[in-house]
Structure 1
Amino acid sequence: MAATKQPGRLSGRHRRPPETRITYREVVAVREFRALWLGQGMSLLGDQLAQVALAVLVYSRTGSPLATAAVYALTYLPPIIGGPLLAGLADRHPRRRVMLSCDLLRALALGAMAVPGMPFAALCALVFLVVLLGAPFTAARAALLPEVLEGDRYVVGSALQNVTNQAVQMLGFAAGGASIAVLGPYRALALDCATFLASALVIVAGVRRRPAPHRGEGGRPSMWTMTAAGARLVFGERRLRTLVLFAWLCGFYVLPEGIAVPYAATLYRGDLSVPAITGLLMAAMPLGTVVGAFAFGRFVTPSCRLRGMGWLAMLTCAPLVLCAMRPPLEWVLALWVLSGVGGAYQLAANAAFVQCVPSAGRAQAFGLVQSGLLAAQGVGILIGGAAAQRLGPEPVVALAGAAGLSVAAVLAMLWTESRTEIISTVRAPAT
């Protein structure tokens, strides 16, 4: 006897399966992810220590603030150049091999930098090389991670890495000065060299070999061919263009960190020094990002992340508009932390981007997006600094928030037209 279908209910065939939430414990249980996670944490901690060591070393040898700033600026330029050109190496060669080569070459360069008496010009060239090699390493790692963590595990793993990176950066900068006072700048650089060697050992032990993505009868395509193909891939499809613009939105909401020192001077009130206030301001957004990424990855279902992406993108910029009211320090910190919480939308944008990009061109695509990301941050901070010189920091932060909010609202509307297909693919299959 055939069963009758009750009105108002979905049949079993059309009932949507429940979405499962992946836990951090499940992600950490994946051996290859542990290796990538541990290696990244070690090398990042060493990098933060090395940045402080370089600043101390260059200033002590030259006595020039300009030279010190120039060496620091070298950490921004190479990825913008190297991302589009070198990221494709991870699509032409096995990604594990690319990561190992970059780690070993960076360790060699840092070992040379740690030699006392290294000429200033050679020091600058080595800094440029170390940061340049980070572009293919990051692209290879970003392209490999979706193969290590499939489905929602990728988002949760990305959230865990984001939390770890923010925490390591804060720890590295906070402990860097004290460590260099004990070790000295040259030993600190040698320690950074050791972290890259340790990262290489972890990758050898924990990440399995995979073939190069491009294996055709016609041989591997040239670097220029792959760069052009990556640009066509990223910017030739509407969904990908929207996701890329979501990523580059950070050019608006990172601007306050670039003018934190003059902003701190306006908040000076006697009981806290300007450097202390600057440290609080610069830590506010990373703190919000840690909280937002943890909650977003742990407690929000995959489809809800994608649906809420536009709203969170607007949240990154909306609190900054209130800085026009010149609130006191406590309120400014709360607003900046809230802005950092909204930045968790980048996890959903990253996951959606991975779903839309084929594996064979993933590294090149990530490299292009990363280069644009750094360029957006650098240009945003540069424009913000010039504007703050004339208008003051509070109105500039508010204007950046208003402009970013407007762009985020447009992107949110565009995203509603593209997200349906992606959301349908993140639901667990019926069993």
Structure 2
Amino acid sequence: MRTRRLPGRHRRAEERQTTYGEVIAVKEFRALWYGQGLSLLGDQLAQVALAVLVYDRTRSPLATAGVYALTYLPSIAGGPLLAGLADRFARRGVMMTCDLIRALLVAAMALPIMPFWALCALVFLVVLLSAPFSAARAALLPEVLEDDRYVVGSALQNMTNQAVQMLGFAAGGAVIAAMGPYRALALDAATFLGSALILLSGVRPRPAAVRSAAKPSMWTMTRAGARLVFGDKKLRTLVLFAWLCGFYILPEGLAVPYAAKLHTGALSVPVITGLLMAAMPTGTVLGAFVFSRFVSPSRRLRMMGWLAMLSCAPLVVTATHPPLAMVLGAWVLSGIGGAYQLAANAAFVQCVPDEQRGQAFGLVQSGLMAVQGIGILVGGLAAERLGPEPVVALAGITGVTAAAVLAMIWAESRGDGSARVRAQAAA
């Protein structure tokens, strides 16, 4: 049976880009968006407050860095297992429960009588609960926004996240100085409560994705999710595209020593550090806006490999020891290239069945945390011997090479998919 082709004007209608206004008009998306922004702003303040609090108590840089490392470890260790909660139970309920528990835990952290060991344990638990929350939110978003709306909504959330992070880190020091670290932690607890209320009022209840009476164990779901994600060539390629961020995020971990190398007297090291750390998020916001607003859905998939290479290629210029302005331009350009993640994310969603979406997103998110943490750690160790400039350049070279290989694999898999579609149409 031959499939009838759509007229040209209908195909062009399918390629019409969704506007931000259309996405913001969706009530449930607004609730997810507002709740995420509120919680993230509180988290940024809490990170600064926690660093100040730990250093004031211990006067130990190692203890301060160790507590910061706890923000990576739980997602890597417990994320793949707990992410399955987003499929076993109603996703709105999972998010609200995580918000309420985290509000209680952070409120306990805000008590001055809390000993240091208990503070570390609470930090671990708070970050651990972010895994099922993030998995539930990521799995719920495609149900709220379909087709191109999902890409535009993801871009809007991504831009908001970057803006909130820049605002939180920039204003965090001043806020902590004005109200103190304990009150800042109490404010973070309040943001979790606010997020839960927004979800309760703005997101409608839905049944769990896994609806069978005999639900599989968490370990069984984790293994099934791993087989799904890594057993399929297309999904595996998309995951590796996402994990490329380990190469182009590495320079942010070397921002302070890099700023010290660039320091000439006109600008202080903290100012240069702030400029460097803001460069990639700025590029990410610009790239996400242009990519989601002015590039058609089909072109996004074709451009994904090229943009992935762009996310790493500008870093190679640091091998020539360029001035600050050129470094900032290169890092902004790298952030723009990172917009390919929107297309990879959308393609991933389309390939994963709803009943395994939370588990799949949880596995990918845990891998993201791992590659970022490992990348920054390896980069720091290498910079001790080689200096920051050659390490950033090596990250760029390695990242471009990996991106080029993935781009060829992606083009081949897309070609196979197109061939299958043509064969089905001719049948």
Same fold by TM (over 0.5)? yes
Give the alignment partner of residue 17 of structure 1, picking from 8, 11, 14. Answer: 11
Aligned to 1:92: 88
1:153 aligned onto 2:149:
yes
1:102 aligned onto 2:94:
no
Aligned to 2:32: 36
What is the correspondence of 1:258-273 to structure 2 with a 5 Å cutoff? 258-273=253-268
Aligned to 1:429: none
Q: Structure 1 residue 215: deviation in Å?
A: 1.2
Aligned to 1:193: 189
What is the correspondence of 1:189-338 to structure 2 with a 5 Å cutoff? 189-217=185-213, 219-338=214-333
SS at match of 1:308: helix
CA 1:244–1:422 in structure 2 vs 1: closer, same or farther (change >3 Å)?
Answer: farther
Give the alignment partner of residue 136 of structure 2, picking from 125, 133, 140. Answer: 140
SS at match of 1:252: helix
1:72 aligned onto 2:68:
yes
- Counterpart CA distance in 2 for 1:149 and 1:396 is 40
Q: Structure 1 residue 419: deviation in Å?
A: 2.7
- TM-superposition CA deviations, 1:244-287 (whole Å, max 9, x none): 00000011111111111111111011010111111110110000
SS at match of 2:402: helix
Aligned to 2:389: 394
Unaligned stretches of 5+ residues in structure 2: 422-427
* Matched AA of 2:245: C
* Matched AA of 1:86: L
Aligned to 2:400: 405
- Counterpart CA distance in 1 for 2:199 and 2:6 is 44
Q: Structure 1 residue 424: deviation in Å?
A: 11
- Counterpart CA distance in 2 for 1:424 and 1:128 is 47
CA 1:422–1:38 in structure 2 vs 1: closer, same or farther (change >3 Å)?
Answer: farther
- TM-superposition CA deviations, 1:189-216 (whole Å, max 9, x none): 0000000000000000000110011112
- Counterpart CA distance in 2 for 1:309 and 1:12 is 27
- Counterpart CA distance in 1 for 2:412 and 2:23 is 31
Give the alignment partner of residue 362 of structure 1, picking from 351, 357, 366. Answer: 357
CA 1:206–1:423 in structure 2 vs 1: closer, same or farther (change >3 Å)?
Answer: farther
* Matched AA of 2:251: P
Aligned to 2:45: 49
Q: Structure 1 residue 29: deviation in Å?
A: 0.3
* Matched AA of 2:260: A
Structure 1 length-normalised TM: 0.94
- Counterpart CA distance in 2 for 1:200 and 1:148 is 18
- TM-superposition CA deviations, 1:285-312 (whole Å, max 9, x none): 0000010011111111111111100000
Q: Structure 1 residue 322: deviation in Å?
A: 1.1
Q: Structure 1 residue 418: deviation in Å?
A: 2.1
Aligned to 2:425: none
- Counterpart CA distance in 2 for 1:80 and 1:13 is 46
Q: Structure 1 residue 44: deviation in Å?
A: 0.1
SS at match of 1:384: helix
SS at match of 1:210: coil
Give the alignment partner of residue 179 of structure 1, picking from 175, 179, 183. Answer: 175
SS at match of 1:208: coil
Contact 1:87–1:363 (8 Å) recurs in 2: yes
Give the alignment partner of residue 385 of structure 1, picking from 380, 400, 415. Answer: 380
Aligned to 2:424: none
- Counterpart CA distance in 2 for 1:153 and 1:234 is 24
Identical aligned residues as a percent: 75
SS at match of 2:129: helix
Greater shift after overlay, 15-24 or 401-410?
15-24
* Matched AA of 1:123: L
Structure with the higher fraction of residues in helix conformation? 2
Greater shift after overlay, 173-182 or 208-217?
208-217
- Counterpart CA distance in 2 for 1:233 and 1:256 is 32
- Counterpart CA distance in 2 for 1:423 and 1:175 is 53
* RMSD (CA atoms): 1.4
Structure 2 length-normalised TM: 0.95
Aligned to 1:8: none
Contact 1:250–1:373 (8 Å) recurs in 2: yes
Aligned to 1:4: none
- Counterpart CA distance in 2 for 1:423 and 1:322 is 40
